[in-house]
Homo-oligomer: A and B are copies of this chain.
Amino acid sequence: MHITQGLKRAALVNGPGIATIDGERRHTWHEFADRVARLAGALISLGLKTDDRVAILALNSDRHLEYYFATIWAGGIFVPLNTRLAPPEIGSILTDAGAHILVIDDALQSQLANIADHTTIPEHIIFAGEGEPVADLIQHEAFLSTSAPVPDANRGGDDVATIIYTGGTTASPKGVMLTHTNAVSNALSSLAILYDGDPWTYLHTAPMFHIADCQWNTGVTMLGSTHVFAKKFVPQEMLELISRHQITHTALVPTMINMLCQVPHVESYDVSSLRKVNFGGSSIAPAVIRRARQVFPNCHFIQGYGQTETSPNIAMLLDKYNTDEGPFAGKIESAGQPVFAMEVRIVDVKDEEVPRGIAGEITTKGPHVMRGYWNKPEETAYALRGGWMHTGDVGYLDEDGFIFIVDRLKDMIISGGENIYSTEVEHVIYQHTAVADCAVIGVPHEKWGETIHAIVVPKKGADLTEEEVMNYCHQHLAGYKCPRSVEIRLEPLPMSGAGKILKKVLRAPFWADKTRQIN
């Protein structure tokens, strides 16, 4: 399997059709394929060799997609960087990746000097923004147009195509190596669920450095369909783009769906073109889906469950299960069933399979599973022990093979030998009308190993005491699941780029001089 095959197919079946729309700029698939072959030549002219890394630190754009394909066409490895990270974090990733070329845009170039304090900046920096670069950088259009097209390096199969970093907020970023087979098989199994025989117009609005959107670089191109780019997700702008370009498909997280539904006068936008939304990151609340169906009347919502290490899809939940009524009721809270070519097994701490309905670590096997972590053979061997990718998610399978996620393994609290799922406790606390946000973590305890600690942010103006949270939990949870301590906090909880609460950061002060059993 070759990622570039999809690009050749697009040029074959839809050469004069529109490949990319970025603001006023459009390219046909014939033009796009030619630009990719030229850009690959330009990268090689800078000394790029097989498996060399090209990093990009830029908001979404057609050029982001050009570097994805051009790097792979040239035989290199594409490394999209999380634009929300701080300069020291970006520096440590650039060091780890050993990037030969860095691509940057208007929005991010101001960080270059700060990043340089933390790493040796790659020798070649290309400015792929719209305006003028502040420093003396290589200019994207001139760079591309003066180069001759080169033939496809024809990398494929288990060759690494991308390295996507996870855990950038920790001391040691991990680069997930994804191969050509990973990307193409993930695209095929996603298209088996989402493709309906008609052309797509896909909107990149979730960040293109994240696997949730990045995966569609391959899938949408294989279709020979149209990519549209929003620099970043802004709810009102997204509605305008849907209307202007008759967007049919996009990838979002549930929070984004909720934000779209709450845009004032949302009903005044023509969003009838939107046919399918692929969302990931968490399951969706029935109330959100009901509202989303009103706002997007022709749209199906398909949940994908997975992680960067699995390209990302392990499971998908079809739209028909997004209901709390009828024979499918209850499935909406799941992460769906394994996609067609992936196997799922729930295991205990000894890596032995547990019966249906019993929670354990979710492991998976199949063509979507990464080749490993870049330069981290030990972490790779541990994550892939026994031939199965260990997701670090705790969940169980129901009788119909639907996966129900219970918690992150690292966030599970083991207290007096009992497993307590932090999410279960949080769900109860969130039901309290005065609670805006909360996180439940394990803190060290001499006798029980850990005890349960809740950090709660009250809604603006709400009056909430620690005692009230404790009492509320005791009304709704078994005693051993109730927090032993509660902290009311007025500042927001620390969040990841993907909008998840960083429990590791919250746990850190408690564990400064101790080691958790699972970490």
Contacts and interface: CB of A to CB of B under 8 A. Distances in A.
Interface of A: 1-2, 5-6, 8-9, 12-16, 184-185, 187-189, 191-193, 195-197, 222-223, 318-320, 337-338, 340-344, 365-367, 397, 399-401
Contacts of A1: 185, 341, 366-367
A511 to B, nearest CB: 38
Given A1-B366, A185-B1, A366-B1, A338 B12 contact: yes
Given A6-B340, A12-B344, A12-B397, 16 more contacts: A1-B185, A1-B367, A2-B366, A5-B365, A9-B401, A12-B401, A14-B401, A184-B367, A185-B188, A188-B188, A188-B341, A191-B340, A193-B197, A197-B318, A197-B320, A222-B340
Contacts of A222: 340-341
A14 B400 contact: yes
Contact of A9 (B15, B193, B196, B340): B340
Contacts of A191: 192, 340
A196 B320 CA distance: 12
Contacts of A320: 197
Contacts of A397: 12
Contacts of A192: 188, 191-192, 195
A11 B367 CA distance: 20
A222 B6 CA distance: 24
Chain multiplicity (copies) = 2
Given A8-B343, A340-B222, A13 B188 contact: no
A12 to B, nearest CB: 4
A193 B222 CA distance: 13
A318 B196 CA distance: 10
A343 B195 contact: no
20 contacts: A1-B185, A1-B366, A1-B367, A5-B341, A6-B341, A8-B343, A9-B338, A9-B401, A13-B338, A15-B399, A16-B399, A184-B367, A185-B188, A187-B340, A192-B195, A193-B195, A197-B319, A197-B320, A222-B340, A223-B340
Contact of A340 (B188, B196, B338, B343): B188
A185 B187 contact: no
A263 to B, nearest CB: 29
A122 to B, nearest CB: 33
The 9 closest A-B pairs by CB, nearest first: A13-B401, A191-B192, A12-B401, A188-B188, A222-B340, A192-B192, A13-B337, A5-B343, A192-B195
Contacts of A13: 337-338, 400-401
A388 B360 CA distance: 46
Contacts of A401: 9, 12-14
Contacts of A185: 1, 185, 188
A341 B16 CA distance: 21
A197 B316 CA distance: 11
A188 B195 CA distance: 12
A361 B120 CA distance: 52
Contacts of A343: 2, 5, 8-9
Nearest to A12: B401
Contacts of A193: 195, 197
B366 A5 contact: yes
A223 B340 CA distance: 7
A174 B343 CA distance: 34
A319 B197 CA distance: 9
A458 B397 CA distance: 65
A78 to B, nearest CB: 20
Nearest to A318: B197
Contacts of A187: 340
Contacts of A319: 197
